[in-house]
Amino acid sequence: MADKRAQRLAELIKPLRVKPGSEVNLAKDYDPGYKADFLNKKKDGPDLLRTGIALLADYQARLAAQDTYGVLVCLQALDAGGKDGTIRHVMSGVNPQGVHVSNFKVPSAEELDHDFLWRYARRLPARGDIGIFNRSHYEEVLVVRVHPENLDRQKLPKEAKGKDVWARRYREINDWERYLSDNGFKVVKLLLNLSKEEQRTRFLKRIDLPEKNWKFSSADARERQWWDDYQRAFSEMLSATSTDWAPWYVIPADRKWFARICAAAVIAHTLMEIDPKYPVVSEQARQELLTVKAELEDEAPKDAPADPYAAAHAKTGKAGMEA
Ligand code: ATP
Ligand code: MG
């Protein structure tokens, strides 16, 4: 982490991290229009996003090669918060084989027939992978809380539906994430924090531009009526479930370019903390490689160098294997 770039990213995300145990009032504590003073959209924006994406690509390759840790990124936002665009931009540099995106919508009949974490557990990343939850198990304390009829549909036994259901869910979610973290799966959670006015603007854009019409549904506008209830549910969720092992980051989402930089920075920072390393082969395996190397060199056609790769890279000092 001595890398200057890493330090810059760490500095950027520090104010966004929700301190475990703190009492959060989202509207008061986090400004959706916040931008780090030292950043300028035109001058620094593209460069920093590129840095974040390059770091992600590099660390994701190591994560996959090491095959020991997995990363779960949970993305929450209200409609038009920018989840899809964030995933598209932030993950643009990584090997698609190592990233899996899962979208969670209204639960199916089969899903409602199970415990509330079941459908999320089925989508967890494998070791070496990054899993992205586009909406996540946090819907279970957000939309389900704001619209309690969702809870009624969950077929819970009476004793599990009492007043303490939300406190219990927070605890169960924290326990589940701790279990994942203890077993090598790092959980990182991003709330894209949008202002009501910016949501209105984005909805209108989706209505005004015909090619965006498909993205808008009148249900989204209806959901807006519950804005204050969602803000309260977000605040409680952040207060109760930002933990040392699975912290929340509140990403200011009114400026898309800044939100993307922050999201890339948080994920890159998480990977840096894991610091995955390429496996080093054993001495015996290395000797075997050298034997094969000698055999391949013996096969060289008359006018070809014994090892074309080493010959081409000799000047740069990156020549083939030394014994
Ligand atoms: P987009 O609109 O960008 O396609 P989206 O994530 O908003 O993406 P939609 O199909 O519009 O997808 O909405 C999914 C809906 O499902 C959201 O309103 C969300 O709150 C709801 N949902 C997700 N999980 C649950 C849950 N466990 N119980 C009830 N509703 C849920
Ligand atoms: Mg939607």
Do 138 and 218 share a domain, yes or no? yes
How many whole angstroms from its chain centre is CA 179? 18
Do 132 and 111 share a domain, yes or no? yes
Per-residue b or e along 170-207, where b marks 16 or more CB atoms closer than 10 Å to that residue's CB: bebbbebbeebbeeebbbbbbbbbbeeebbeebbeebe
What's the 101 CA to ligand 1 centre distance in angstroms?
15
> 321 lies in a domain?
no
- Domain span at 289: 283-316
Number of domains in the chain: 2
> 323 lies in a domain?
no
Q: How far apart are CA 110 and CA 107, in angstroms?
A: 8
Q: How far apart are CA 230 and CA 252, in angstroms?
A: 16
Do 152 and 301 share a domain, yes or no? no
Atom of ligand 1 at shortest distance to CA of 84? Answer: 3
Atom of ligand 1 at shortest distance to CA of 140? Answer: 27
114 neighbors 80 (Cβ within 8 angstroms): no
What's the 104 CA to ligand 1 centre distance in angstroms?
6
> 322 lies in a domain?
no
Q: Please give the chain's pLDDT, 323 residues, in tens.
A: 447 777 888 889 999 999 999 999 999 999 999 998 878 877 888 888 998 999 999 999 999 999 999 999 999 999 999 999 999 999 999 999 999 999 999 999 999 999 999 999 999 999 999 999 999 999 999 999 999 999 999 999 999 988 899 999 999 999 999 999 999 999 999 999 999 999 999 999 999 999 999 999 999 999 999 999 999 999 999 999 999 999 999 999 999 999 999 999 999 999 999 999 999 999 999 999 999 999 999 999 999 999 999 999 986 655 545 54
Do 221 and 311 share a domain, yes or no? no
**Among 240, 256, 274, residue at a domain's last position:** 274
Nearest Cα neighbor of 74 from 14, 9, 135 is: 135
> 251 lies in a domain?
yes
Q: What residues pack around ion ligand 2 (CB closer than 5 A)? A: 79
Q: How far apart are CA 17 and CA 30, in angstroms?
A: 10
Do 243 and 298 share a domain, yes or no? no
Q: Which residues neighbour 29 within 8 Å (Cβ) at sequence distance 6 or greater?
A: 250
Do 159 and 303 share a domain, yes or no? no
Do 268 and 288 share a domain, yes or no? no
